[in-house]
Every structure is written in structure tokens, then in C-alpha cells.
Structure 1
Amino acid sequence: MFKLGLFLFVGLVVLAGAYVRLAPSHPDRWHVAPLGKADRNNRGSVFRVIETGPNGLARLDAIARETPRTRVLAGSVDDGMVTYITRTRVIGFPDYTTAMQDGNTLRIRARLRFGKSDFGVNRARVDGWLALLQP
């Protein structure tokens, strides 16, 4: 009986991991303009507004593309808005970060997909990107 329970538990963990890795990321759900005027931190997301000049998105894009396990989901620098997916190392949980150039202002919103708390991962990544963005 113990072996059957263990087998079922391991099977559920594998299925959950497969779902996290393989669940589709629809751009129409995640590639949404980040709106707001002030920085804020939430349990599963972070929002930043920074004055960068007109080329802030291009500079941030270069930084984001160098981040491990990060790829573009939708958009481009030419579009003025890019959404990235960054996955955790072990399980592959996806986090979505959307950056939008609005004149000289760069607006960035990072949020998790699964769960209620990201343990500060999105805030650390975005603040790290912004630190590298500064001259």
C-alpha cells in the first residue's frame, strides 16, 4: 500500500511539473500594457516606472535577453513594448515581464503565473535589470 501511495504521489508531481513546463503562454493574456504612475510591490508582482530617455526599452531589451532562462513571448523594441518569460531553474515556473516605452518613461510589470507569492523573485530580477540600466 505504501508503494502504491508513493507511486501515485511521484506521478502527480511529475504531471504537475509537466503542466508547469508545457502550459501554453498566450500573448493576448500576458502581453498587456503595464499601466500606472508609481512603483509598487505586491506578493506576486512588481511594477516600476523609470525615466530612461527614449532608448530605455532598447537598453533593457539587451539586458533581458542576456538573463538566463529568459525569452521574448511577444512584442519588440520597434513595437514599443516587449513581454518576456523567465523560468525558474529547477521546476520551470514562468514569470512574465512586460516593458513598455512611453516617451522618456519606461514602465515595467513583472508577475507570476502560478501561485500567490513569488518570494520576491520578480522584484529582484526587475530591480537588477534596472540597476544594470543605470549609467
Structure 2
Amino acid sequence: MMTWLLAGVLSAVLIVRFYVRHAPHEAADFHLQTSSKTEAGDYRTDGGFEAVRQPDEPIAEAFARLVRIVEENARTRLLDGSVEDGHISFVTRSHFWGFPDTTNIWVLGDHLHIQGHLRFGKSDLGVNQRRILNWLAIARL
């Protein structure tokens, strides 16, 4: 009986892992600019994090540099948008489970916004905040 229970639990874990890794991530659902923040700063959100910066350099240069840094991140792929559009979205997956987090970067006036958010669950355990603050530190923003 214990063997069947263990096999059932293991099967359920593998099914969840497969779903999380392979569930479609449609750009129309996640390529969004959803901020109401107008002041530079760091903001925790439910299931994510947003940082708003007002660079001392031309905004297009800061935006392009940040995008290059994000593109070089492991397990990160472009979802939609471009530097030319002034809005770009990425999906970064966790190493083992493959949980997808969506990151949107956009320019609004003279502010640069970067927002990371989980797709599954209630809490990202601060992963998006650490990731975004690391990218911003590398970009010197």
C-alpha cells in the first residue's frame, strides 16, 4: 500500500513539474505595462516587484543597456517587444522546477520601469526583487 501511495505522490509531482515547465506563456497575457507608479523607487507587489528609475543619462541608453543585461541572464528568453518599441518582456524560469516569472521593462516619460511577477502561486519568495535589483546594479541604475 505504501508503495502505491509513494508512486502516486511522485507521479503528481512529476505532472506538476511538467505542466509548470511547458504551460504556454502567451505574450498577450503577460506583455503588459501595469504600473501606476510615477516616482522613482522600489515597490513590492503581490507576487512580484517593481523598480522605477530616473536615469541621469538619456533614457534610451539606460533602457538598451538594461535590456542587454537581462538578455544575457540564464534561463531567460524574449517574450515580446523590442528596444525600439520602448517596451520589452522576458520570461525567466527557475532552475529545477522551471517556474516562469515575467519581467516587463518599459519607458514612460523620463522614467524607466522594470516589473517582475510570478505566474504560478501566491509568493515569489523575493526572487523577482533580488533578480531585478541585481540587474539594476549591473546596469548602474
Indicate yes or no: 2:52 matched with 1:46: no
CA RMSD of aligned residues (A): 1.3
TM-score by length of 1: 0.94
Indicate yes or no: 2:119 matched with 1:113: yes
Write the mapping of 1:74-113 to structure 2, written as runs, cut at 5 A: 74-113=80-119
Q: Deviations over 1:49-84 (max 9, x none)?
A: 101232222111110011111111111101110111
Shift of 1:108: 1.1
Q: 1:34 to 1:60 in 2, by over 3 A?
A: farther
Counterpart in 2 of 1:20? 20
Work out the percentage of aligned pairs sharing the same amino acid.
Answer: 37
Counterpart in 2 of 1:129? 135
Give the SS at the match of 1:24: coil
Gaps of 5+ in 2: none
Which amino acid in 1 is paired with 2:50?
F
Indicate yes or no: 2:60 matched with 1:59: no
Q: Deviations over 1:5-63 (max 9, x none)?
A: 11111110010000000100011110001422243113411111101232222111110
- Divergent runs of 4+, >4 A: none
Give the SS at the match of 1:48: strand
Gaps of 5+ in 1: none
What CA distance in whole angstroms lies between the structure 2 residues aligned with 1:128 and 1:104? 22
